[in-house]
Amino acid sequence: MIKHIVLFKLKDRSPESVEKTYAVLNGMKGKVEQLVDLHIGKNVVDTPRSYDLSLEATFRSLEDLQGYQVHPEHKKVIEHISEVRESQSVVDYEF
């Protein structure tokens, strides 16, 4: 199994902006067949080092993660994120 974790810091950190991006990320649920599980989280403790949103996705294999990367629904998310993010960090690990 592969865990894919991404943290997003948004340019506009207003509640409305965070909520919109949360909805875009959550919109992949049930539409990307490679996803075994998907959790999106909104930050609740604001500090200078905090990120605004997290994405935690589970895949059966590296091949499924690679398929997700080019999936049309994921590409829609990338388009949105490219416009709204200030920065992001990612880690992928096997468990």
Q: Which residue has the tokens 């935690």?
A: 56
Per-residue model confidence (pLDDT) at position 31: 98
Q: Return d(Cα 21, Cα 77) in angstroms, integer.
A: 9
Q: Return d(Cα 87, Cα 94) in angstroms, integer.
A: 24
- The 3-state DSSP class for residue 37 equals strand
Per-residue model confidence (pLDDT) at position 40: 98
pLDDT per residue, tens digit, the chain (95 aa), is 999 999 999 999 999 999 999 999 999 999 999 999 999 999 999 999 999 999 999 999 999 999 999 999 999 999 999 999 999 999 999 99
All domains of the chain in start order, with CATH = 2-94 (3.30.70.100)
Phi, psi of 94 (to 5 degrees): -95, 140
Instruction: Decide if 10 contacts 60 (C-beta within 8 A).
Output: no
Per-residue model confidence (pLDDT) at position 54: 98
